[in-house]
Amino acid sequence: MLPARSAERAAVAGHGASDPGGCAPPGSPAIHTIELSKRYRSTVALAGLSMTVARGEVFGFLGPNGAGKTTTLRMLTTLLRPTSGTAMVAGADLLRVKGILNLIGEDAPVAVHGVHHVFHPPVQLDAWPDADRRSRIVFITRDIAPADLHASFVEHVGAARI
């Protein structure tokens, strides 16, 4: 539930489809947050949201303007970085990714970097740092199977380019 000023600010509705992406580990929740918060200077947009949404459950946010609905969804979809707290979607968490990639069709290397739920757009560098032209990438994860990580990476980068 949203950290609401009154009990009417959040509601759960019904049950429905199963995990559409099929990427959540068995038994893990589809969405899990712990003390998720967002602050803009002195304005608190979301304060300490802890919630669990089970796989297959349909969860709806209901509430007045300013209750934190949009802020929560933006953080869950990685469009907005939380001030504090943790959010996991599909029971997994990509904590950090950093690398330099040699992509087919590109003359210069491409750098990728992300921390928690904030991933920067890939950047084409001017030149390779040394003579080694191999792609090098490091993933630090929690509860993500290597095969799922590889499949997601290939989907986003393109199998024909790596």
User: pTM above the 0.75 mark?
Assistant: no
- The enclosing H or E element of 107 equals none
User: What are the CA-CA distances from residue 131 to residues 13, 61, 109 (Å)?
Assistant: 57, 53, 12
Residues contacting 92, CB < 8 A, separation 6+: 23, 24, 25, 28, 141, 142, 143, 144, 148
Q: How confident is the model at residue 24 (pLDDT cuts 50, 70, 90)?
A: very low
| pLDDT at residue 125 in the model | 93
CATH code of domain 7-89: 3.40.50.300
Is pLDDT of 44 > 60? yes
Both tokens of 95, joined, read 């904590």
Both tokens of 60, joined, read 């709806």
Is pLDDT of 32 > 70? yes
* d(C-alpha 59, C-alpha 33), whole Å: 14
What is the b/e burial string over 143-159, where b = at least 16 CB atoms within 10 angstroms of the residue's CB? Answer: ebeeebbeeebeeebee
Q: Where are the domains of the chain?
A: 7-89, 93-161
Contact (CB, 8 A) for 13 and 23: no
Residues of the chain with pLDDT > 70, as a percent, come to 70
pLDDT tens digit sequence for 62-99: 878 888 888 888 888 777 888 988 887 766 666 788 88
- Taking the CA atoms of 39, 123, 144 and 58 in sequence, report the sign of the dihedral they define: positive
